């Protein structure tokens, strides 16, 4: 999912901006992942181990995206 979102930044061929910034900016989707993980756990589709793994993935992508964006985004100075 992370790679797909990153590569999706390259999809619009007409966009000439920093495509890496767009891709990295789409990675953290914590609230959606947590909602679906909780629903899966409540419906006994996910085991507690899978729920923990999804929660960890959500936390990692949420906390790593801002520093990654800061590294990738270098605004031009006037």
CB-neighbour burial class of residue 27 (10 A; exposed 0-12, middle 13-18, buried 19+): buried
Positive or negative torsion for Cα 38, 55, 26, 45: negative
pLDDT grade for 23, boundaries at 50, 70 and 90: confident
- The radius of gyration of the chain from alpha carbons, rounded to an integer in Å, stands at 16
State the pLDDT at residue 39: 94
pLDDT at 51 over 90: yes
HSE-CB at 36 with a 13 A cutoff on CA atoms is 9
Weakest mean pLDDT among 20-24, 41-45, 66-70: 20-24
pTM above 0.75, yes or no: no
Higher pLDDT, 69 or 13: 69
pLDDT at 67 over 80: yes
């Amino acid at each position: 999912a992370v790679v797909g979102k990153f590569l999706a930044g390259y999809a619009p061929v007409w966009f000439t901006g920093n495509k890496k910034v767009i891709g990295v900016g789409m990675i953290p989707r914590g609230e959606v992942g947590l909602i679906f993980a909780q629903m899966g756990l409540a419906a006994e589709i996910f085991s507690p181990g899978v729920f923990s793994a999804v929660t960890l993935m959500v936390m990692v992508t949420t906390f790593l995206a801002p520093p990654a964006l800061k590294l990738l985004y270098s605004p031009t100075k006037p």
